[in-house]
Structure 1
Amino acid sequence: MNIFSVLHCEIRKIIRANVFWLVFLIFAFGPIMMGVGIILSSDAGGINWKMYLTELLDSLAPLGLIGYTFIAAWVFGREFSDKTIKDLLAKPVSRSKIVLSKFIVILAWSLLLSMYMFAIGFAVGGILGVAGGSASFIWNIFFKFIITSLLFIIVTTPGTLLANVSKGYLAPLGLILIIVILSNVLASFGFAPYFPWTIPSVFQSTGFLKLSSIIILASTGIAGIVGTFAWWRFAEQQ
């Protein structure tokens, strides 16, 4: 089997799962509640698209981290929880193609979730009468939000490794809850540019990253990817 056949099978498997649709249902509530809260807390008629989207996406981007981590952990971890790992390994396809197809699906699903949350938040603003924004500004802030989402997706790769090592998706979810708490603490002490899981939020707020932050972020993502490929290549599959 070539990589496209493996990817096709992986996509069909994901779309047919109830979890795929539940993720979009659950993560619709975040932008809805945040958007309504931002508008209601502002002075009547005193909020425009720049104020609304800036505040919304600064809060929404870290929320996406939880969703992206769940997606990454579930795509790998479900093979163990559903006990389909042996059937998967019995297929006439290399393990590296299986891992690569899963990473591609994780990337596509996570980006789709990111665009979905932005669309929901934008729709809430439009329905509740936010005005005063230009198409170019909205496009620019959307583009920055997508880049921020990609940065968050990069740091979910250690979660994929943990999902394989722990043979399930609960451990990565527990880890991300600890990371969220730790991120708030470190950010309050000024360490946000040096902690992998807060670096994307720095980009969302400032629009740029220092070289040290880029190196830390890239190293974290690469470590998770390489570790996952290595685990599938060398670890004993029970």
Structure 2
Amino acid sequence: MKALRTALYVELRKARASRVLHLTAILLMVGITILAIALTISVNSGDEQVLAKLGPLADTTGWLLLIGITAQVIAAGGLLAIGIAMSWMFGREFTDGTISGLFALPVPRSIIALAKLGVLMLWVVAVSIGLTALILVSGLALNLGPLTSEILLQLGRLLVLVVLTGLLTFPAAWVATLGRGPLPGIAATVVVLVIAQVTVIAAPDSAAWFPLSAPALWAIMPEAVHLGQLATVVIVPALFAVLTALSWQRLQLHR
């Protein structure tokens, strides 16, 4: 446990000093908020092109419209942005040449890998809170109506959705390790995104049981995914956390 605490402390300090994570967080929160506001205003103004692309959301108004649009954007754009952050956190050790120094540390490399995953998820939680707060402020500024218990519940759904989306990026950590750089991890994130979106479109009836697609389907149709199906998402981080830790433990400086 002492080794894990030490690794978490070091990785947390590295994350706090990282401009990449700071910039990604700002772009993710502000970008999604601006896009959600713009689409909400377009729908309220009767833009037929936007209405045609929203599907079931086209029939909603007020807070439910804003939150629903935000959820859909998170399921796609959020996954890509968090996947890039995950790929960078692991891949930079190779591209910056700092990976060799990790071999001299008393902390096992597998523990360092798990610490990186833990810190990245702390960053995701912080982003989810910031994004939800921005959507709340935006809804109040747009005067979308009173904050009922149902609206607060839906805002809480955004928090959960961002965290679940972050859990789906764990394959990027493993692939970035195998590929020894951020780009393979980013490519893996794109593959996960495509698989999730295609499955939701091609097989909506069974997509809820597929861990990669459950959050995306939940973002579009919350009533179509129950808690048990959503819980299958934990399979992805559990599996790829183990694979990533094992890969880091078996790393060699020269292949």
Indicate the TM-score class for this superposition, using the shorter chain for normalisation: 0.7 to 0.9
- The residue number in structure 1 matching 2:143 is 129
Structure 2 CA distance for aligned equivalents of residues 61 and 123 of structure 1 = 21
Shift of 1:160: 0.7
Structure 2 CA distance for aligned equivalents of residues 169 and 21 of structure 1 = 17
Of 96, 99, 103, the match for 1:82: 96
Shift of 1:211: 4.8
Q: Note closer, same or farther for the CA distance 1:5–1:219 as it changes in structure 2 (3 Å cut).
A: closer
- The residue number in structure 1 matching 2:226 is 209
Structure 2 CA distance for aligned equivalents of residues 186 and 96 of structure 1 = 33
Q: Note closer, same or farther for the CA distance 1:178–1:2 as it changes in structure 2 (3 Å cut).
A: closer
Shift of 1:140: 1.4
Of 199, 221, 236, the match for 2:237: 221
User: Is the Cα contact below 8 Å between 2:66 and 2:139 reproduced in 1?
Assistant: yes
The normalised TM-score by structure 1 is 0.86
Structure 2 CA distance for aligned equivalents of residues 51 and 145 of structure 1 = 13
2:68 partner amino acid: T
Structure 1 CA distance for aligned equivalents of residues 211 and 188 of structure 2 = 14
Structure 2 CA distance for aligned equivalents of residues 124 and 32 of structure 1 = 9
User: Is the Cα contact below 8 Å between 1:152 and 1:197 reproduced in 2?
Assistant: no
Structure 2 CA distance for aligned equivalents of residues 2 and 235 of structure 1 = 19
1:64-75 equivalence runs, <5 A:
64-75=78-89
Q: Percent of counterpart pairs with the same letter?
A: 22
Shift of 1:213: 6.3
User: Is the Cα contact below 8 Å between 1:196 and 1:220 reproduced in 2?
Assistant: yes
For structure 2, the residue ranges without an aligned partner over 5 or more in a row are 47-59
Structure 2 CA distance for aligned equivalents of residues 54 and 121 of structure 1 = 11
Of 202, 209, 213, the match for 1:198: 213
Q: Note closer, same or farther for the CA distance 1:218–1:173 as it changes in structure 2 (3 Å cut).
A: same
Aligned length, in residue pairs: 235
The normalised TM-score by structure 2 is 0.81
- The residue number in structure 2 matching 1:185 is 198
- The residue number in structure 2 matching 1:63 is 77
